[in-house]
Chain A
Amino acid sequence: MTDTISTALKTGQMFINFGPQHPSTHGVLRIALTVEGEVVVKADPDVGYLHRGMEKLFEARTYSQALILTDRLDYVSAMSNNLAYCLAVERLAGIQAPLRAQYLRVLTAELNRIASHLVFFGTFSVDMGAFTPFLYAFREREMILDLFEMLCGGRLLYSYIRVGGVNADLPAGWTEKCREFITFFKPRLKDYDTLLSFNPIFRDRTVNVGRISASQAISWGLSGPNLRASGPDYDVRKAEPYCVYDKLDFKVPVAQAGDCWNRYYCRMLEMGQSVEIALQCLDALAAADLVPGEIMAKGVPKMLKPPAGAAYAHIEASRGDLGFYAVADGSLNPYRMHVRGPSFLNVAILQEILTGCKIADVVAVLGSLDIVLGEVDR
Chain B
Amino acid sequence: MTTETIQPLSEPVFNHANGRLLMPDNRYWPSRKWESPWSLPAYRSGAAVLAGLLSGAAAAAWLVGELGPRVTPLYYAAGHYALSLGVPAFLIKIVWTVIKAALLLAVPLVNALFAVWWERKISAHIQSRLGPMYVGRFQGCLQTVADGIKLFLKEDIVPDSADRLVHLLAPVVVVIPAIMVFAPVPFGRELIFADLDIGTVYVFAVGGVSVMGVIMAGWASGNKFSLLGGLRAAAQLVSYELPRTFAVIPVVMLAGTLNISAIAGFQAGYWGGLLPRWFIFYPVVGQVAFIVFLIASVAETNRVPFDIPEAESELVAGFNTEYSGMKFALFFLSEFAYVLLSCLLMAAFFFGGGEPPLPLLGFLPSWAWFLAKTLTLMFCFLWFRWTFPRFRVDRLMDFNWKFLLPVSLLNIAAAGVLIWFIS
Direct contact, A vs B (beta carbon within 8 Å): yes
Which A residues form the contact surface with B (CB < 8 A)? 14, 16, 18, 22-24, 38, 125-132, 135-136, 139, 143, 146, 149-153, 168-169, 171-173, 177, 180, 183-184, 195-196, 199, 201-202, 204-205, 358-363
Which of B27, B387, B391, B394 contacts A195, CB < 8 Å? B387
B205 to chain A, nearest CB (A): 31
Smallest Cβ distance from B204 to chain A, in angstroms? 27
Contact B390 A130 (CB under 8 A): yes
Q: Which of these, B20, B128, B224, B389, contacts A205 with CB under 8 Å?
A: B389
Residues from chain B with a CB closer than 8 A to the CB of A127 are 313
Chain B residues, CB < 8 A from A360? 314-315, 392-393
Question: Can you list 25 A-B contacts (CB < 8 A)?
Answer: A14-B224, A16-B315, A18-B315, A23-B312, A23-B313, A38-B393, A38-B394, A129-B305, A130-B389, A136-B128, A139-B30, A149-B21, A153-B20, A168-B19, A171-B15, A171-B18, A171-B20, A172-B22, A173-B22, A196-B389, A201-B390, A202-B389, A204-B391, A204-B392, A363-B315
Please indicate the chain B residues that have their CB under 8 angstroms from the CB of A14 in the complex.
224
- Distance to closest chain A CB from B315 (angstroms): 5
Can you list, as one digit per residue, whether each of B292-317 has a CB less than 8 Å from chain A (1) or not (0)?
00000000000011010001111110
Bound-state CA distance A201–B390 (Å) is: 7
Main secondary structure, interface of A, reads: helix
Nearest-neighbour CB distance to chain A for B361, whole angstroms, equals: 34
Which residues of chain B are within 8 angstroms of A129 by Cβ–Cβ distance? 304-305, 307, 311, 313, 388-390
What distance in Å separates the Cβ of A118 from its nearest Cβ neighbour in chain B? 14
Find out whether the CB atom of A132 lies under 8 angstroms from the CB atom of B313: no
A359 near B29: Cβ-Cβ < 8 Å: no
Q: List residues of chain A with CB within 8 A of the CB of B311.
A: 129
Fill in one digit per residue for B10-29: 1 if any A CB lies within 8 Å of its CB, else 0. 00000101111111000101
> Do A172 and B395 have beta carbons less than 8 Å apart?
no
How many chain B residues sit at the interface, stated as a range, is 35 or more
State the CA gap A300–B352 with chains docked (Å).
80
- Given that A132-B387, A153-B20 are known contacts, is A358 also in contact with B394, CB under 8 Å in the complex? yes
**Would you call B387 and A143 a contact (CB within 8 A)?**
no
Contact status A201-B388, CB under 8 Å: yes
Q: Give the distance in Å from the alpha carbon of A129 to the alpha carbon of B314 in the complex.
A: 9
**Which residues in B have some Cβ–Cβ distance to A below 8 Å?**
15, 17-23, 27, 29-32, 34, 123, 126-129, 224, 304-305, 307, 311-316, 386-395
C-alpha gap A126/B386 in the complex (Å): 11
Q: How far is the CA of A183 from the CA of B276 in the complex (A)?
A: 46
15 other contacts beyond A24-B313, A358-B394, with CB at 8 A cut-off? A125-B389, A129-B304, A129-B311, A129-B390, A132-B387, A135-B128, A143-B30, A149-B21, A150-B22, A168-B20, A173-B22, A183-B32, A195-B387, A201-B390, A201-B391
**Do residues B315 and A359 form an inter-chain contact, with CB atoms below 8 A?**
yes
Lowest 9 CB-CB distances: which A-B pairs, in order? A129-B390, A135-B127, A130-B389, A128-B389, A23-B313, A129-B389, A360-B392, A202-B389, A171-B15
Chain A residues near B387 (CB, 8 Å)? Answer: 130, 132, 195
Judge whether B390 and A128 touch: CB under 8 Å.
yes
Distance in Å: Cβ of A333 to nearest Cβ of chain B: 29
Task: Check B31 against A184 for contact (C-beta < 8 Å).
Answer: yes
CA distance A18 to B393 in the complex (A): 18
Q: What separation, in Å, do the CA atoms of A195 and B383 have in the docked complex?
A: 13
Per the bound structure, the CA–CA distance linking A168 and B15 in Å amounts to: 12
For the complex, give the distance between the alpha carbons of A39 and B21 in Å: 54
Which residues from B are CB-within-8-Å of A150? 20-23
In the complex, what residues of B have CB within 8 A of residue A204's CB?
391-392, 395
Main secondary structure of the interface of B (DSSP, over half): loop
**Residues in chain A near residue B395, CB distance under 8 A:** 204-205
In the bound complex, what is the Cα–Cα distance between A132 and B127 (angstroms)? 5
Chain A residue contacts of B27, Cβ below 8 A: 146
Give the chain A neighbours of B388 by CB distance below 8 A: 129-130, 199, 201
- Provide the residues of chain A in CB contact with B15, threshold 8 Å: 171-172
Cα distance, A204 to B390, chains bound together (Å) = 10
In the complex, A139 Cα to B129 Cα: how many Å? 10
Contact of B316 among A149, A183, A202, A359 (CB under 8 A): A359
Chain A residues with CB under 8 A of B305: 129, 201
Residue among B21, B314, B389, B393 with the most chain A CB within 10 A?
B389
| Given A149-B23, A359-B316, A184:B34 Cβ within 8 A | yes
Complex Cα–Cα for A205 and B314 (A): 13
Q: A129-B311, A143-B30, A172-B15 are in contact. Are A152 and B20 (CB under 8 A)?
A: yes
Q: Which residues of B contact A22 (CB under 8 A)?
A: 313, 315
Residues of B within 8 A of A18 (CB): 315
Nearest-CB distance from B25 to chain A (Å)? 10
Docked CA distance A23–B128 (Å): 23
Residue of A nearest to B316 (CB): A359
Complex Cα distance, B18 from A313, in Å, reads 30
**CB closest residue in chain A, given B395:** A204
Is the Cβ of A172 less than 8 Å from the Cβ of B17?
yes
Would you call A135 and B313 a contact (CB within 8 A)?
A: no
Residues of A within 8 A of B32 (CB): 180, 183
Q: How far is the CA of A14 from the CA of B225 in the complex (A)?
A: 11
Contact yes or no, B21 A143, CB < 8 A: no
- Most central of A130, A136, A139, A196 by chain B CB within 10 Å: A130
Among residues of A, the one whose C-beta sits closest to the C-beta of B388 is A201
Q: Which residues of B contact A195 (CB under 8 A)?
A: 387
Inter-chain contact A180/B394, CB cutoff 8 Å? no
Bound complex: CA A239 to CA B176 (Å): 67
Q: Which residues of B contact A362 (CB under 8 A)?
A: 315
User: In the complex, what residue of chain B is closest to A184 when comparing beta carbons?
Assistant: B30
CA distance A363 to B315 in the complex (A): 8
Smallest CB gap from A18: residue in B:
B315
Q: Is the CB of A143 within 8 A of B20?
A: no
B315, A126: Cβ atoms closer than 8 Å: no
Question: Please, which residues of chain A bring their CB within 8 A of the CB of B18?
Answer: 168-169, 171
Given A125-B389, A130-B389, A205-B395, answer yes or no on A363-B314 (Cβ-Cβ < 8 Å): yes
- CB-nearest residue of chain B to A125: B389
Q: B22 — which chain A residues lie within 8 A by C-beta? A: 150, 171-173
Closest chain B residue, CB of each to CB of A176: B31
A135–B129 CB distance below 8 A = yes
Cα separation A201 to B129 with both chains bound (whole Å)? 25
Please indicate the chain A residues that have their CB under 8 angstroms from the CB of B21 in the complex.
149-150, 153
